[in-house]
Amino acid sequence: MTEPRFSIITINYNDQLGLQKTIESVISQTYTGIEFIVVDGDSSDGSKGIIDQYSSQINKWVSEKDKGIYHAMNKGIKMATGDYLLFLNSGDSLIDLEVVTAVSNSMTDNKDLYYGDIYFKREDKTTKETFPENLTFDFFYYNNLSHQATFIKRTLFDDLFLYNESYKIAADWEFFIYAICKANASYRHLPIYITLYDGTGISSNEKNKEIITKEREMTIDKYFPAFKDDYDKISILRQRRFKQFLSIKENRTAWEILKILMKIILLFIPSKKQND
């Protein structure tokens, strides 16, 4: 496989400091095959001045009003000419100067998606987040790939669809679960920390969980109606009490004690008489 050309797309709205951090992390990469695209939503906080400052190192940019996050991301897709796209939103940054080179060197089998790991930066701490080698329907119930660390083949958007602009938060989740679980897109996990992810964004806000849940349910109804009951059952399996039960079952001594207690309890529960 020849060295791929990457389109790194950054969307921004009124995040001047975050935008500058993101731009500097991209333009400092040693890998030369990068097309850098900035889509700004007509910011009023000085972001346009930052774009002007680095305009000679940004391949394409636009600053105009948009209809939301996914409308802006779709603009970037339409502008992109790279083999693979990476969405690095304002405030996010690539982990070091060589990381895109490391990703390119690992792309040896022409998959539709390559995804790596991230450092998740919250206000009070930074944690590592790794993703599984195998992606399942169960994984996507509560999780998602980080689009800040996922390189998506440009033609996959042509073959499937662009991001759902009617969604506020979960359109990238919809794209990933459809691509992996419905369209059987090929993928491979890269054991590389790619991005320092800014965890103060809209999708990380606890207040938006209700919106995320609603949009995910709409996706299940639309693309996976036959699995709706399974989706609900997974919810039960994720509950704390069921997890505690499984934890006890894995401990042989605790499991034997639980079985004895259950037998004692059953002795005091009157059995129903069967009808003749």
Query: Would you place residue 200 in the very low, low, confident or very high pLDDT band (cuts 50, 70, 90)?
Result: confident
Whether residues 259 and 211 fall in one domain:
no
At 26 the pLDDT is: 98
At 46 the pLDDT is: 95
What's the predicted TM-score (pTM) here? 0.83
Whether residues 27 and 125 fall in one domain:
yes
Query: Would you place residue 208 in the very low, low, confident or very high pLDDT band (cuts 50, 70, 90)?
Result: confident
At 255 the pLDDT is: 64
At 274 the pLDDT is: 47
Per-residue pLDDT reduced to its tens digit, 112-167: 999 999 999 887 889 999 999 999 988 998 899 999 999 999 999 999 999 999 99
Whether residue 99 contacts residue 192, with contact meaning beta carbons closer than 8 Å, is answered with yes
Whether residues 164 and 262 fall in one domain:
no
At 276 the pLDDT is: 43
At 198 the pLDDT is: 87
Whether 28 is in a domain gets the answer yes
Whether residues 62 and 158 fall in one domain:
yes
Whether residues 252 and 115 fall in one domain:
no
Q: Per-residue pLDDT averaged across 206-227, rounded? A: 87
Whether residues 263 and 192 fall in one domain:
no
At 202 the pLDDT is: 53
Whether residues 73 and 145 fall in one domain:
yes
SS3 49: helix
At 240 the pLDDT is: 52
Q: In total, how many domains does the chain have?
A: 2
Which is nearest to 16 in space by CA: 38, 48, 42, 39?
A: 48
At 209 the pLDDT is: 84
Domain that holds residue 249: 239-267
Whether residue 126 contacts residue 219, with contact meaning beta carbons closer than 8 Å, is answered with no
Whether residues 42 and 65 fall in one domain:
yes
Whether residues 157 and 246 fall in one domain:
no
Residue 225 has pLDDT above 60, yes or no: yes
Whether residues 50 and 183 fall in one domain:
yes
At 1 the pLDDT is: 66
Give residues with Cβ within 8 angstroms of 205, minimum separation 6. none
Query: Would you place residue 226 in the very low, low, confident or very high pLDDT band (cuts 50, 70, 90)?
Result: confident
Whether residues 226 and 243 fall in one domain:
no
Whether 129 is in a domain gets the answer yes
Whether 43 is in a domain gets the answer yes
At 159 the pLDDT is: 97
Whether residues 146 and 257 fall in one domain:
no
Whether 104 is in a domain gets the answer yes
SS3 63: strand
At 115 the pLDDT is: 98
Give residues with Cβ within 8 angstroms of 145, minimum separation 6. 113, 115, 131, 135, 172, 176
Instruction: Compute the distance between CA of residue 153 and CA of residue 157 in angstroms, rounded to an integer.
Output: 8
Stretch among 10-24, 42-56, 182-196, 228-242 having the lowest mean pLDDT: 228-242
Query: Would you place residue 275 in the very low, low, confident or very high pLDDT band (cuts 50, 70, 90)?
Result: very low
